[in-house]
Structure 1
């Protein structure tokens, strides 16, 4: 987990960092993690939280760091959650974190600037939106789950130039 924290330090503010299970399980009105419930059921082998979970003030800058033992399981469950959220009104909740994956690691964040930095570090967003297509110049790779792609393109927060 220490290595993952170091890896994402330029993109994700981890000045407040915790691996305490109760702290990592936090969610707030403004921040909803992708992984819901027991992380092991999602294929996540280690989990940490960067950000301030709350206390005297509202939570802010919450991002979850995951080491992943079973990426296919994580992507399968994330797809189901994303499609369930999408079915409500045809879009994802603004407070929903997006799952950005790397090789055996993942970051859950709803911060566009953190995602931009993570894209520069070769993380890719798991997008399971039906009919999704990325414009020319953006990365688009197969995910481990049918019906999803890995990309650095988000229609609501496009990165100019794609890369």
Structure 2
């Protein structure tokens, strides 16, 4: 599997540190891209056949399906205080949520360094998304972080469905 050095612009705790080396391969399926690492489609944008910031209606619902299939297991790990087991899936789901937030607004994640400023400019975002995301990033394996993540998924899915309905009505 090829190694990829994380550039400064993509370094953000709790996902990556600058200069970190990760093993990454071109995903065969969208599901694989969304479950095998953080921001893979953004890091390898020119090398994959998936462009969810453009093909929103086709691809974004799959991310919510992934969340729904994994959230009870994650809830159980958090409830049992299995922090080590919960850490990676929690980060993956947080990364996926950030992806949805950007992609729903038609933007690829080209940098995580300026995510706060970019999110502040989005038309489509849950209430207080910025503050809630910071809270989750600072303590990803705490019960309240899970609750916030779960609520952000619910709110973002409603925004997505509303946006798709508006788009489909106009076209």
TM-score (norm 1): 0.31
Greater relative CO, 1 or 2 (CA 8 Å, sep 6+): 2
- Comparing both structures, which one devotes a greater share of its residues to helix? 2
- Comparing both structures, which one devotes a greater share of its residues to strand? 1
Structure with bigger gyration radius: 2
